[in-house]
Every structure is written in structure tokens, then in C-alpha cells.
Amino acid sequence: MRGGRGGTPATPSIGPSTAVAGKWTAGSLSGSANRIQIELQTLSAATSTAAPGHLPAFMAGPNGADLYAWTATVSGPSGSPYSRGLFFFDIRFPGNYPFSPPVVVLRSRIYHPNLVAGTTVAIRTLSEDGWSAATTVYDVLRGIRELLAEPDPHDAVVGSVAEQYVTDRKAFDETARDWTRRFAS
């Protein structure tokens, strides 16, 4: 185990002996790593069913050999101002996953009342009250995509964007569409 920095939980080291070409062996994994590996397999199977020529709703997987650090993409839902956008997220699993939620950070710029680039995604699923050990990365990414389809102006991170969403939806949609074209295409 290597110690975390700044109060972050310690996470197991995944080195060459346990990761071979992106594959981890069951005997080399801790309980949390085994759960993450199972979720990776489930998520890979679910996202491989996208229609030809269409992006899957979301995809995720490890960054290199570190099973605890993932990159995820969420495609904008059709019919929303985020359609045709591809939004990037970093996911960091704690050493006691799934008993604590992962930390999910948005990397893409977006015009949205509930999401801000460079900050932790604050959705109920990831909160201490909303998280359970049965929750999966699939559930988290699905929740983020649902938030793209239906922003929640009553639980906003950016008040001015939420106000525009409520009072001038046409202007909100135009700006969100423009930002999606500029920063998520």
C-alpha cells in the first residue's frame, strides 16, 4: 500500500506483477480492486452495444496500470443543448471502495448550473447520504448523463446559470450549445 497525500486514503499499488497489458489477475487484487475490475468488465460490456456510427452514452476505464484512477467520457444526450458533445471526467477510487464513493472531477468546460470544470461533481449518488456499496460507476455516469438531459436549477453550483435556465431557457440553450461546440466537440 502507498499512503495517500493530503488526507486521501491509501490505495494499493498496481504494478507490473499485477497488471499485464491492462489486465489484472484475480489473485493479485484486494477486495476493492476486485470490485473495480468487475465494474470495468460490466461497463465495457454495456458500452460495447452502441449502434454503429454512434457514441455510447458513456465510457470509462483505467489510466494505464492504475486501476484506481480512471478517465470517463459522457456524451451529451440528444435533444439537449449538450448533444454532440463529449465531456471528460477523472474518477479516483478510494482504497475502501465501494464503501466510500469515488471522487469524480469534470475536466471539460461546460455551461451548466450543476457542473463546473475542474471541480468535483456534486450529484446525490456521490454524496455521503446518497452513496451505498451497491452503487456502481455505471450508476454514477448514468446520473451525470441524466443531469445533462435535465439540469436541476434548484440545486445549482452556478447561480447565474441556474437563473438563466429558469428565466430565459432559449438564451441558456444557445449558450450551452455554443460552449458544447467550442469546448466539448
Residue 61 counted as domain residue: yes
Residue 6 counted as domain residue: no
| Residue numbers of the domain that contains 56 | 19-183
* Structural domains in the chain (count): 1
10 Å Cβ neighbour count for 129? 6
Residue 37 counted as domain residue: yes
Q: Per-residue pLDDT tens for 45-74?
A: 877 766 666 668 899 999 988 999 999 999
Residue 72 counted as domain residue: yes
Q: Per-residue pLDDT tens for 119-171?
A: 999 898 998 889 999 999 999 999 999 999 999 999 999 999 999 999 999 99
Residues near 131 by beta carbon (within 8 Å), at least 6 away in sequence: 100, 101, 125
Residue 173 counted as domain residue: yes
Residue 3 counted as domain residue: no
The pLDDT, as a whole number, for residue 3 is 37
Residue 49 counted as domain residue: yes
